[in-house]
Amino acid sequence: MCELFGMSSEQPISARSPLSLFGMRGGETADNPDGWGLAYVEGDAFAIHKAPEAAARSAVFTKIAEQIHSRLIIAHVRKANPPTAHTLENTHPFMRTCCGRSWVFAHNGQVPEVVALQGCCHPRHSHPEGETDSEHAFIYLLEEIAGTFPATFQGPPPEMTEGWLETLALRSAAIAVYGQFNFLLTDGEHLIAYGHDRLYSQQRSEGGVASVLIASAPLPDDEPWEAFAPDELRVYRGGQLLGRWSASMNSGTAKMCSRSISQAKWP
Protein backbone atom coordinates (compact mmCIF):
# COMPACT_ATOMS: atom_id res chain seq x y z
CA MET A 1 0.00 0.00 0.00
CA CYS A 2 1.18 3.56 -0.69
CA GLU A 3 2.94 5.49 2.06
CA LEU A 4 3.02 9.15 3.05
CA PHE A 5 5.61 11.48 4.55
CA GLY A 6 5.16 15.10 5.54
CA MET A 7 7.14 17.76 7.36
CA SER A 8 6.25 21.19 8.70
CA SER A 9 8.92 23.44 10.21
CA GLU A 10 9.11 27.01 11.45
CA GLN A 11 12.00 27.69 9.05
CA PRO A 12 13.63 25.87 6.12
CA ILE A 13 15.58 22.81 7.28
CA SER A 14 17.00 19.64 5.78
CA ALA A 15 14.96 16.42 5.87
CA ARG A 16 17.75 14.30 4.44
CA SER A 17 17.72 11.57 7.08
CA PRO A 18 13.95 10.92 7.32
CA LEU A 19 13.54 11.20 3.54
CA SER A 20 16.32 8.68 3.05
CA LEU A 21 14.54 6.22 5.35
CA PHE A 22 11.22 6.96 3.69
CA GLY A 23 12.63 6.48 0.19
CA MET A 24 13.70 2.94 1.09
CA ARG A 25 10.01 2.14 1.52
CA GLY A 26 9.64 2.71 -2.19
CA GLY A 27 10.58 -0.83 -3.20
CA GLU A 28 13.26 -1.84 -0.67
CA THR A 29 11.95 -2.07 2.91
CA ALA A 30 8.30 -1.99 1.80
CA ASP A 31 6.40 -2.96 -1.35
CA ASN A 32 5.76 0.46 -2.91
CA PRO A 33 7.73 0.31 -6.18
CA ASP A 34 5.30 1.99 -8.60
CA GLY A 35 6.21 5.66 -8.24
CA TRP A 36 7.57 8.41 -6.02
CA GLY A 37 6.89 12.09 -5.55
CA LEU A 38 8.39 14.99 -3.62
CA ALA A 39 6.63 18.33 -3.21
CA TYR A 40 8.12 21.13 -1.14
CA VAL A 41 7.92 24.87 -0.67
CA GLU A 42 10.77 26.75 -2.32
CA GLY A 43 10.53 30.48 -1.77
CA ASP A 44 6.86 31.31 -2.27
CA ALA A 45 6.02 28.44 -4.63
CA PHE A 46 5.86 24.67 -4.78
CA ALA A 47 8.54 22.55 -6.40
CA ILE A 48 7.25 19.11 -7.41
CA HIS A 49 9.33 16.21 -8.68
CA LYS A 50 7.93 12.75 -9.32
CA ALA A 51 8.45 9.66 -11.45
CA PRO A 52 6.63 6.33 -12.03
CA GLU A 53 9.55 4.29 -10.70
CA ALA A 54 10.82 2.87 -7.42
CA ALA A 55 12.18 5.54 -5.06
CA ALA A 56 14.61 3.09 -3.49
CA ARG A 57 16.35 2.68 -6.85
CA SER A 58 16.04 6.27 -8.06
CA ALA A 59 19.18 8.40 -8.19
CA VAL A 60 16.96 11.44 -8.81
CA PHE A 61 14.93 10.84 -5.63
CA THR A 62 18.13 10.43 -3.63
CA LYS A 63 19.69 13.60 -5.02
CA ILE A 64 16.61 15.76 -4.43
CA ALA A 65 16.04 14.35 -0.93
CA GLU A 66 19.61 15.24 0.00
CA GLN A 67 19.35 18.80 -1.33
CA ILE A 68 15.94 19.91 -0.01
CA HIS A 69 15.89 22.69 2.56
CA SER A 70 12.27 23.64 3.13
CA ARG A 71 9.72 24.49 5.78
CA LEU A 72 7.06 22.25 4.23
CA ILE A 73 7.40 18.87 2.47
CA ILE A 74 5.01 16.18 1.24
CA ALA A 75 6.44 12.91 -0.11
CA HIS A 76 4.80 9.75 -1.42
CA VAL A 77 5.80 6.26 -2.53
CA ARG A 78 3.22 4.41 -4.59
CA LYS A 79 1.78 0.92 -4.72
CA ALA A 80 -0.67 0.85 -7.65
CA ASN A 81 -3.53 -1.02 -5.98
CA PRO A 82 -6.02 -1.34 -7.56
CA PRO A 83 -3.79 -1.47 -10.65
CA THR A 84 -3.60 1.69 -12.75
CA ALA A 85 -1.00 2.74 -15.29
CA HIS A 86 2.46 3.70 -14.05
CA THR A 87 2.37 7.23 -15.45
CA LEU A 88 3.18 10.72 -14.22
CA GLU A 89 -0.55 11.54 -14.25
CA ASN A 90 -1.18 8.74 -11.73
CA THR A 91 1.83 9.54 -9.54
CA HIS A 92 1.38 11.48 -6.29
CA PRO A 93 1.47 14.25 -5.11
CA PHE A 94 -1.17 16.06 -7.16
CA MET A 95 -1.47 19.85 -7.39
CA ARG A 96 -4.54 21.99 -8.10
CA THR A 97 -5.52 25.64 -7.72
CA CYS A 98 -8.47 26.53 -5.53
CA CYS A 99 -9.57 29.53 -3.52
CA GLY A 100 -6.77 31.77 -4.73
CA ARG A 101 -3.88 29.45 -3.90
CA SER A 102 -2.24 26.19 -4.97
CA TRP A 103 -2.90 22.95 -3.08
CA VAL A 104 -0.86 19.74 -3.01
CA PHE A 105 -2.30 16.35 -2.00
CA ALA A 106 -1.08 12.77 -1.51
CA HIS A 107 -3.13 9.76 -0.41
CA ASN A 108 -2.64 6.36 1.19
CA GLY A 109 -5.41 3.76 0.89
CA GLN A 110 -8.14 2.63 -1.47
CA VAL A 111 -11.52 4.31 -2.07
CA PRO A 112 -12.72 2.84 -5.42
CA GLU A 113 -16.21 4.23 -4.81
CA VAL A 114 -15.06 7.70 -5.94
CA VAL A 115 -14.22 6.43 -9.45
CA ALA A 116 -17.20 4.07 -9.79
CA LEU A 117 -19.77 5.25 -12.35
CA GLN A 118 -22.58 5.18 -9.80
CA GLY A 119 -20.35 5.91 -6.83
CA CYS A 120 -20.23 8.83 -4.43
CA CYS A 121 -18.03 11.89 -4.08
CA HIS A 122 -17.48 12.64 -7.76
CA PRO A 123 -15.92 15.98 -8.76
CA ARG A 124 -18.57 18.11 -10.46
CA HIS A 125 -16.69 21.03 -12.00
CA SER A 126 -13.21 19.75 -12.82
CA HIS A 127 -11.69 16.65 -14.36
CA PRO A 128 -8.73 14.63 -13.05
CA GLU A 129 -5.70 14.28 -15.30
CA GLY A 130 -5.17 10.65 -14.29
CA GLU A 131 -7.16 7.57 -13.34
CA THR A 132 -6.60 7.25 -9.60
CA ASP A 133 -9.23 7.32 -6.89
CA SER A 134 -6.78 9.57 -5.00
CA GLU A 135 -6.88 12.42 -7.51
CA HIS A 136 -10.66 12.13 -7.85
CA ALA A 137 -11.03 12.43 -4.06
CA PHE A 138 -8.63 15.40 -3.95
CA ILE A 139 -10.62 17.38 -6.50
CA TYR A 140 -13.89 16.50 -4.78
CA LEU A 141 -12.58 17.79 -1.43
CA LEU A 142 -11.40 21.05 -2.97
CA GLU A 143 -14.79 21.58 -4.58
CA GLU A 144 -16.50 20.95 -1.23
CA ILE A 145 -14.43 23.50 0.68
CA ALA A 146 -14.33 26.06 -2.15
CA GLY A 147 -17.78 27.38 -1.29
CA THR A 148 -16.47 28.55 2.07
CA PHE A 149 -14.03 30.99 0.53
CA PRO A 150 -14.60 34.18 -1.49
CA ALA A 151 -13.16 34.25 -4.99
CA THR A 152 -10.40 36.66 -3.91
CA PHE A 153 -9.33 34.52 -0.94
CA GLN A 154 -6.12 35.77 0.66
CA GLY A 155 -6.57 34.22 4.09
CA PRO A 156 -9.72 33.11 5.90
CA PRO A 157 -11.38 35.51 8.35
CA PRO A 158 -11.50 33.95 11.82
CA GLU A 159 -15.24 33.25 11.69
CA MET A 160 -14.80 31.21 8.49
CA THR A 161 -11.85 29.11 9.56
CA GLU A 162 -13.49 26.37 11.57
CA GLY A 163 -16.26 26.01 9.01
CA TRP A 164 -14.12 24.89 6.11
CA LEU A 165 -12.03 22.57 8.27
CA GLU A 166 -15.15 21.00 9.72
CA THR A 167 -16.39 20.47 6.16
CA LEU A 168 -13.06 18.93 5.20
CA ALA A 169 -13.13 16.57 8.19
CA LEU A 170 -16.70 15.46 7.50
CA ARG A 171 -16.20 14.93 3.77
CA SER A 172 -13.00 13.02 4.43
CA ALA A 173 -14.75 10.73 6.90
CA ALA A 174 -17.58 10.22 4.38
CA ILE A 175 -15.06 9.06 1.75
CA ALA A 176 -13.26 6.84 4.30
CA VAL A 177 -16.47 4.85 4.84
CA TYR A 178 -15.86 3.27 1.42
CA GLY A 179 -12.35 1.99 2.13
CA GLN A 180 -9.11 3.48 3.47
CA PHE A 181 -8.45 7.19 3.25
CA ASN A 182 -5.37 8.74 4.81
CA PHE A 183 -3.93 11.90 3.25
CA LEU A 184 -1.66 14.91 3.47
CA LEU A 185 -2.83 18.24 2.06
CA THR A 186 -1.16 21.66 1.99
CA ASP A 187 -1.87 25.15 0.74
CA GLY A 188 1.79 26.13 1.01
CA GLU A 189 1.44 27.40 4.58
CA HIS A 190 -0.42 24.70 6.48
CA LEU A 191 0.13 20.96 6.59
CA ILE A 192 -3.24 19.22 6.92
CA ALA A 193 -3.11 15.54 7.84
CA TYR A 194 -6.10 13.18 7.93
CA GLY A 195 -5.60 9.80 9.54
CA HIS A 196 -8.47 7.42 8.89
CA ASP A 197 -6.65 4.32 10.10
CA ARG A 198 -2.90 4.73 9.52
CA LEU A 199 -0.97 7.91 10.35
CA TYR A 200 1.67 8.92 12.91
CA SER A 201 3.35 12.14 14.02
CA GLN A 202 6.66 13.04 15.66
CA GLN A 203 7.42 16.43 17.21
CA ARG A 204 11.03 17.59 16.97
CA SER A 205 13.17 20.48 18.12
CA GLU A 206 16.71 20.71 16.80
CA GLY A 207 18.86 23.77 17.32
CA GLY A 208 15.82 25.63 18.62
CA VAL A 209 13.85 24.95 15.42
CA ALA A 210 10.47 23.26 15.93
CA SER A 211 9.23 20.78 13.36
CA VAL A 212 6.79 17.90 13.01
CA LEU A 213 7.07 14.78 10.88
CA ILE A 214 4.05 12.82 9.64
CA ALA A 215 4.31 9.29 8.26
CA SER A 216 2.08 6.36 7.37
CA ALA A 217 4.18 4.23 9.73
CA PRO A 218 6.91 5.27 12.18
CA LEU A 219 10.31 5.64 10.58
CA PRO A 220 13.06 3.50 12.16
CA ASP A 221 14.69 6.26 14.21
CA ASP A 222 15.24 6.73 17.93
CA GLU A 223 12.40 9.20 18.57
CA PRO A 224 8.84 8.30 19.70
CA TRP A 225 5.91 8.51 17.29
CA GLU A 226 2.28 9.25 18.18
CA ALA A 227 -0.59 7.50 16.41
CA PHE A 228 -3.50 9.58 15.11
CA ALA A 229 -6.93 8.75 16.52
CA PRO A 230 -9.28 7.14 13.97
CA ASP A 231 -10.71 9.72 11.55
CA GLU A 232 -8.64 12.52 13.06
CA LEU A 233 -7.75 15.63 11.07
CA ARG A 234 -4.86 17.80 12.25
CA VAL A 235 -3.59 21.17 11.03
CA TYR A 236 0.02 22.28 11.50
CA ARG A 237 1.86 25.47 10.68
CA GLY A 238 5.53 26.20 11.31
CA GLY A 239 5.96 22.86 13.05
CA GLN A 240 3.20 23.58 15.56
CA LEU A 241 -0.17 21.90 15.94
CA LEU A 242 -2.87 24.54 15.45
CA GLY A 243 -5.94 22.36 15.84
CA ARG A 244 -7.48 18.94 15.43
CA TRP A 245 -10.87 17.58 14.51
CA SER A 246 -12.40 14.14 15.02
CA ALA A 247 -15.19 13.44 12.55
CA SER A 248 -18.13 11.31 13.65
CA MET A 249 -20.26 10.15 10.75
CA ASN A 250 -22.82 8.65 13.14
CA SER A 251 -23.73 12.08 14.46
CA GLY A 252 -22.82 13.94 11.27
CA THR A 253 -20.56 16.34 13.12
CA ALA A 254 -16.87 17.13 13.26
CA LYS A 255 -15.81 17.70 16.87
CA MET A 256 -13.07 20.17 17.70
CA CYS A 257 -10.55 18.45 19.96
CA SER A 258 -8.10 21.23 20.76
CA ARG A 259 -7.86 25.00 20.70
CA SER A 260 -9.65 26.72 17.87
CA ILE A 261 -7.60 27.17 14.74
CA SER A 262 -9.37 30.50 14.27
CA GLN A 263 -7.21 31.76 17.14
CA ALA A 264 -4.04 31.03 15.19
CA LYS A 265 -2.28 33.47 12.91
CA TRP A 266 -3.08 32.89 9.25
CA PRO A 267 -1.10 34.44 6.40
Question: What CATH code is carried by the domain that includes residue 84?
Answer: 3.60.20.10
pLDDT of residue 44: 86
pLDDT tens per residue, range 129-142: 888 999 999 999 99
C-alpha closest to that of 249 among 171, 185, 180: 171
Q: Give the C-alpha separation, 133 to 263, whole Å.
A: 34
pLDDT of residue 152: 42
C-alpha closest to that of 213 among 47, 57, 17, 56: 17
Q: Which residues of 62-88 are buried (b: 16+ CB within 10 A; e: fewer)?
A: bebbeebebbbbbbbbbbbeeebeeee
* Residue 154, beta-bridge partner list: none
Give the domain range for residue 10. 3-263
pLDDT tens per residue, range 256-266: 444 333 333 33
Other CB atoms within 10 Å distance of the CB of residue 260: 13
Q: Has residue 232 got a pLDDT over 50?
A: yes
pLDDT of residue 55: 98
pLDDT of residue 158: 42
pLDDT of residue 88: 94
Give the lowest-confidence range in 164-168, 210-214, 259-263.
259-263
C-alpha closest to that of 108 among 2, 210, 198: 2
The band of 187, judged by pLDDT with boundaries at 50, 70 and 90, is very high
Model pTM score: 0.89
- Mean pLDDT of the region 184-189: 95
Q: In what order do the strands lie in the sheet with 200-206?
A: 45-51, 36-42, 69-77, 3-14, 209-215, 200-206, 226-227
Domain count, the chain: 1
Classify residue 246 by burial, with Cβ atoms within 10 Å: 0-12, 13-18, 19+.
middle
Give the lowest-confidence range in 25-34, 103-112, 241-250.
241-250
